[in-house]
Structure 1
Amino acid sequence: MQDLLFLPAHRLAALVRAREVSARELLEAHLAQVARHNPRLNALVTLDEERARARALEADEASARGESWGPLHGVPITIKDSFMTAGVRTTSSYKRLAHHVPTHDATVVARLKKAGGILLGKTNLPTLTLDLQTSGHLFGRASNPWDETRTPGGSTGGGAAAVASGMSPLEVGSDLAGSIRVPSHYCGVFGLKPTEHRVPISGHIPPLPGRPRGVRYEGAAGPLARSLEDLKLGLKLLAGPDEEDWDVPPVPVRDVPRRELHSYRFAWTDDFGGLPVSRETRTALETLATTLERLGCRVERCGPPGVDYQELWEVWGRVLGAELGSEMQALARFVFSVRFNAMRGDTPLNRGIVRGVNSDMAEYIEALSLHDRITGQVEKFLSQWDAWLCPTSVSSAFPHLASGECIEVEGQPMPYLSATSAYTATFNLTGHPVVVLPVAKLVNSPLPLGIQVVGRRWLDEELLAVCEALTDVTGPFQKPPGY
């Protein structure tokens, strides 16, 4: 049964459809894994056992009739607690929402259910998703299954920990500064931040229920899983317009087969604007680049010419701050600015956020103009390559610490926000699709490591095909010791 817990979601669905395992057996196995490990990890914060058991019974009855609900028929799934779930508590770890039970599902939840997925429960996150660790006001701290003294990241930290530890085969998270990618990297799973506006964000908190949505740029929703095939399936199920998020265009999801690995062209770097990375991260990227070159790929160490990363990070903050600020009253904006600046140090990222929170419409439009220019620079660069390989964060998962404290990298203290999100926020600004691939085996690291694989806007399928080829070198998911 332990092996069953670590199979990819698409394999589990195939077993249920073939009636080699029942949906009820699958659900009970995952509930038992939750009972064994969640008291230590605190990855799941709400279970929906009664409804899940009833739904699993219905799935088995459908299988007996020769019916299939879809590609996730009978597979238990988890959802980040920022996405609304009908009849199931949804809090975003915010005290005012401690007893909030939505009447309808977020679009991503509805789509996974329609595909046959069975909601097992909701996963832990920082309050209102606003941190790169997971320690919220309502549910407290989640831990990393590879080392419980360390963070699983945030804000989809509970989800990444659940997938890595065998409590869930598939999670849906959201990403505004790296909140899918950083936890994937820290916990050793696969994660996809799709192209901005490829997947509807409808039904996400924030904004608070009943309030207008302020954040219009830089955010994305996407899957975390234990295989590339599940990321491909996740994109296919989640992408496309709904009747709420009108920024999502009707871009069809295409089947793009992988090519021979040697036919791909890769740019790579371990340096954004002088930001340091750990020795393991640097070695993993260098090893991957050398291996790809030896296998016949075109490989070059380079980045977009003319991009000023200090400017880029400040613009990311200005856009995000302005949109967050639009949801706040004047006093709240002032208090937020003071607290945010004090906690996170003087970096372009937090300077931009504070400036954005207090900006007017003219300054917001100016920031969007800079956003457009920088996005164009990165897109022009990527047009010459099949993918760009970059760090996800400055290091592997760090020990639990208070939000805002410095993080040490190779003996050098780094400001909190830069250390956790500078490499990822880059692509929230530009909106490019990014996959995180686990690569720890390239350096025999005791902790997971993941690299960002970046593709051109709207070519998510091509990017996933590239990543499928890359797994010939980087390898499959590895489960944590003891699970």
Structure 2
Amino acid sequence: MAYPHLTDEPGGIATATQIREGHISPLEAVDAMIARIEKLDPAINAVVVRDFDRARSAAKAMDGLDIMPHQPLFGVPMTIKESFAIGGLPSCWGFKEYEGQLQDADSTVVRQLKAAGAIFLGKTNVPPALADWQSTNPVYGRTGNPHDTSRSPGGSSGGSAAAVASGMSPLEYGTDIGGSVRVPAHFCGVWGHKTSWGLVSKQGHDHPAFKGTDAHDGVLSIAGPITRNADDLALLLELTAILPLRRHEKPLKDCRFLLLAEHPVSEVDAGVRGPIEAAVDSMRKAGITVDDHSPDLPDLAGDHGAYMRMLNIAMARGAPAPDGSVASAADWFDLLDLQARCELSWANLFESYDFVLAPPAPVLAIEAVEGQSFQGDTLINGQMVPAANGLAWAGIATFPNLPSTVLPVGGTGNLPCGMQVIGPRWADFDCIAAAKAIGALLHG
């Protein structure tokens, strides 16, 4: 089946082209997007921080200006995850105690996109501390999945994906440490890219408790784009990457893929497995090599355990674990050693394969629940299992610092399903190009 989709609204490049060719003005583009937000967002609640007056003023100021070569997004309205700083707007990360705490300056990503001509309409919803696959908090309330508002759009960039999927924003930027770009893209049926760690600046993406200290998060966490097509992903990455990347884009028929559909920690539900296997079957019928097994596959169970320990330490920011323990410096250096070994294992695998295909999560969009979804169970193939086990599918790219592009590949019922295209570190544009080619093969 064709994957479920919600909107035929133009993407970022298409909107920029309309403006450049004089079909619409920046103000008309901004007003149209504001009207769409005002119409649709009462039911979805994705764009929770709104900056419409300043957006209109910025658009009016662009009227009659020449479009410079460095402004490929001239006049294009967009939104961004609430956790990114925009001067004059709040960034509370869903914490009631930081509600209304205004930011003094723009984050690096916001500055880069403004320099390219983008106009920010506002910011999108997150879970508290960016720590769930839901986007619900006591400040802004709950964001619903546009395909079924009783379900989650994912997290922590859930508001981002919901806004893009419903056509309330053509472009978004989120962050990912436990699937927070990839899972919302998967749940909402849009495109998302987890960047190679260190490729995009996280300056100005600071926990509100550390406002003004420039203590932005370090290990594992990345910033990455969410869009409705692959070309927009690539453009946003070009505009925000802090170093030039190689591009060895190969035709699909010349690529070798490894399908990773099983994980010792996390079973995959049939609702996810079915669309991914159908996509892989289409690839094989087109003459593309997709293997099911490799003797060079890293130690998935061992790496997942190390990933979870590193993830919990990074998220705790020095707070004791539930058992009262605090990681020592020796514990941390041991984890860095394990991470380096994991990176080498994946580099060895990529000597034989161009890309690895995998589910972004073991389930489709989950039903909204009270509290943090990771603290409960989830239904997989008729059995209730710990929901936190699903982080295994995020960790396969996060722990070794690899890039991963999620594209929509199909759906089950009225819910979309995505697939990860994971590549060697710094092969970000190659991942996006391969995902684009797979999408063209599947959907035309």
Distance in 2, Cα, partners of 1:68 & 1:167? 27
The gaps in structure 1 that reach 5 residues or longer are: 241-250, 339-353, 477-483
TM-score, normalised via structure 2 length: 0.93
- Confirm or deny that 1:333 pairs with 2:320: yes
Distance verdict in 2 for CA 1:114–1:214, change over 3 Å: closer
> Is 1:47 paired with 2:50?
yes
Matched, 1:387 2:388: no
- Are the counterparts in 2 of residues 128 and 205 from structure 1 also a CA contact under 8 Å? no
1-side partners of 2:138 and 2:442: how far apart?
Answer: 37
- The 1:364/1:450 distance shift into structure 2, 3 A limit, reads same
**Counterpart in the other structure of 1:366:** 334
Matching of residue 434 in structure 1 with residue 409 in structure 2: no
Q: Give the Å deviation of 1:33.
A: 0.9
Q: Are residues 160 and 464 of structure 1, via their aligned partners in 2, closer, same or farther at CA, if it must alter by over 3 Å? A: same
**Conservation of the 8 A alpha-carbon contact between 2:204 and 2:216:** no
Amino acid at match of 1:385: Y
Mapping for residues 57-206 of structure 1, pairs under 5 Å: 57-62=60-65, 65=66, 70-206=71-207
**What's the counterpart of residue 419 of structure 2?**
451
1:245 maps to which residue? none
Q: Shift of residue 106 of structure 1? A: 0.7
- Cα pair 1:41 1:143 within 8 Å, conserved: yes
Change (3 A) 1:364 1:53: same
Q: Take 1:81 and 1:448, find their aligned partners in 2: how far apart are those partners?
A: 25
Task: Pick from 384, 405, 418 the counterpart of residue 389 of structure 2.
Answer: 418
Secondary structure at the counterpart of residue 430 of structure 1: coil
**What's the offset of the Cα at 1:42?**
0.9
Q: Structure 1 CA distance, aligned partners of 2:386 and 2:30?
A: 42
C-alpha spacing 1:215/1:47, structure 2 compared with 1 (3 Å): closer
Match of 1:275 among 247, 250, 266: 266
Question: Using the alignment, how far apart are the partners of 1:66 and 1:408 within structure 2?
Answer: 52
Q: Which residue of 2 aligns with 1:33?
A: 36
Q: Secondary structure of the residue that 1:235 maps to in structure 2?
A: helix
CA–CA distance in 2 between the matches of 1:4 and 1:212?
Answer: 38
Structure 1 residues 112-121 or 16-25, which shifts more? Answer: 16-25
| Contact 1:94–1:137 under 8 Å retained in 2 | yes
Q: Which residue of 2 aligns with 1:316?
A: 307
Once the two structures are TM-superposed, the CA of residue 471 in structure 1 deviates from its matched residue by 1.4
Partner of 1:14: 17
Deviations 1:400-419 (A, max 9, x none): 01322211011111212113
Give the TM-score taking structure 1 as reference length. 0.86
CA 1:296–1:27: 2 relative to 1, 3 Å: same
Whether 1:461 aligns to 2:429 is yes
Match of 2:221 in 1: 219
Does the 8 A contact of 1:269 with 1:303 survive in 2? no
Which residue in 1 is equivalent to 2:3?
none
- Offset at 1:362? 0.5
Deviation at 1:66, TM superposition (A): 5.8
Shifted more, 285-294 versus 129-138: the winner is 285-294
Q: Which residue of 1 aligns with 2:236?
A: 234
Contact kept in structure 2, 1:268 and 1:303, CA below 8 Å: no
- Write the letter of the residue equivalent to 2:280: A
Aligned CA distance change for structure 1 residues 306 and 454 (closer, same or farther; 3 Å): closer
d(CA) in 2 for partners of 1:13 and 1:149? 34
Q: Which amino acid aligns with 1:75?
A: V
Provide the C-alpha distance between the structure 2 equivalents of 1:188 and 1:282, rounded to a whole number of angstroms. 15
Letter in 2 for 1:260: P
The one-letter code of the counterpart of 1:426 is: I
Is the 1:81–1:90 Cα contact (8 Å) retained in structure 2? yes
Contact 2:48/2:123 (8 A) holds in 1: yes
Deviation at 1:445, TM superposition (A): 4.0
Provide the C-alpha distance between the structure 1 equivalents of 2:434 and 2:338, rounded to a whole number of angstroms. 30
Instruction: Provide the aligned C-alpha RMSD in A.
Output: 2.0
> Aligned pair in 2 of structure 1 residues 306, 387: CA closer, same or farther (>3 Å)?
closer
The corresponding residue for 1:252 is: 244
TM-fit CA distance, 1:459: 1.3
| Alpha-carbon spacing, 1:270–1:221, altered in 2? closer, same or farther (3 Å) | same
Deviation digits for residues 168-187 of structure 1, max 9, x if unmatched?
00010000110000000000
Q: Distance between the aligned counterparts of 1:299 and 1:310, measured in 2?
A: 23
Question: Secondary structure at 1:12's aligned position in 2?
Answer: helix
Distance across 2 between alignment mates of 1:92 and 1:464: 29
CA distance in 2 between counterparts of 1:387 and 1:291 reads 17
Aligned counterparts of 1:409 and 1:211: Cα–Cα separation in 2: 43
Which of residues 364, 370, 377 in structure 1 aligns to 2:345?
377
Distance in 2 separating the partners of 1:36 and 1:214:
35
Q: Which letter maps to 1:371?
A: Q
* Percentage identity across paired residues of the two chains: 32
Report the Cα distance in structure 2 between the residues aligned to 1:27 and 1:323, rounded to whole angstroms: 38
Higher RCO (Cα < 8 Å, 6 or more apart): 2
**CA pair 405-66 structure 1, distance change in 2 beyond 3 A:** closer
8 Å CA contact 2:297, 2:346 repeated in 1: no
**Cα drift, residue 87 of structure 1:** 1.5
1:400 counterpart = 2:368: yes
Instruction: Letter of the 1:252 partner, please give it.
Output: P
Q: What do residues 231-275 of structure 1 show as CA deviations (whole Å, max 9, x unaligned)? A: 1001101110xxxxxxxxxx314555x543322211102101152
Runs of 4+ in 1 over 3 A off after TM superposition: 65-69, 210-215, 253-256, 303-306
Letter matched to residue 388 of structure 1: V
Q: SS of the counterpart of 2:109?
A: helix
Alpha-carbon distance, 1:5 to partner: 6.6
Secondary structure at 1:20's aligned position in 2? coil
